[in-house]
Amino acid sequence: MSPYPKQCPQCKTYFPGVWKECNRCKVRLVNARAAHVMKWLKVICVLVTLWVLVAASTYCIQPAERQLYERAYACLKEGRYGDAQKQWRRAFARSPYVTGARSLVEEIKARLRKHT
Ligand SMILES: [Zn+2]
């Protein structure tokens, strides 16, 4: 039996995608384990996509730090994960994301100080 039946066994409603349960008679269509695996696969997909976007964008907007990113990648390929992480951290610390977040934190701190 397929883990994702497309038709409800009770009312014979057809479901075009993956549905957890029939929305008419609330019969479970996907077994609990498959639903669990699907949920985590989705989370991992989103995280990987976000990571790739951040990595690609930092590479594009930091032409001065490209060498560091390239060195990190070279270390990663050679299996020197510690070195790769060091290079990547040095480059990422100068990225607009980090500097932006830092200035935001500073501003929040300054405002909090004013109010107390
Ligand atoms: Zn049904």
CA quadruple 15, 19, 23, 27: dihedral sign: positive
Tokens of 39: 């949920």
Q: Express each pLDDT in 37-84 by its tens digit.
A: 888 999 999 999 999 998 888 888 888 889 999 999 999 999 999 999
Q: For residue 68, how far is its CA from the centre of ligand 1 (angstroms)?
A: 56
Q: For residue 113, how far is its CA from the centre of ligand 1 (angstroms)?
A: 59
Whole-number pLDDT of residue 21: 83
Q: Among 53, 5, 56, which Cα is nearest to 31's?
A: 5
Q: Which residue has the higher pLDDT, 21 or 83?
A: 83
Whole-number pLDDT of residue 64: 87
Separation in Å, CA 62 to CA 55, 70, 94, 97 = 11, 12, 8, 11
Q: For residue 10, how far is its CA from the centre of ligand 1 (angstroms)?
A: 5
pLDDT band at 29; cut points 50, 70, 90: confident
CA distance linking residue 49 with residue 82, whole number of Å: 23
CA distance linking residue 39 with residue 61, whole number of Å: 33
Task: Find out whether 10 and 27 touch, Cβ atoms under 8 Å.
Answer: yes
What count of residues does the chain have? 116
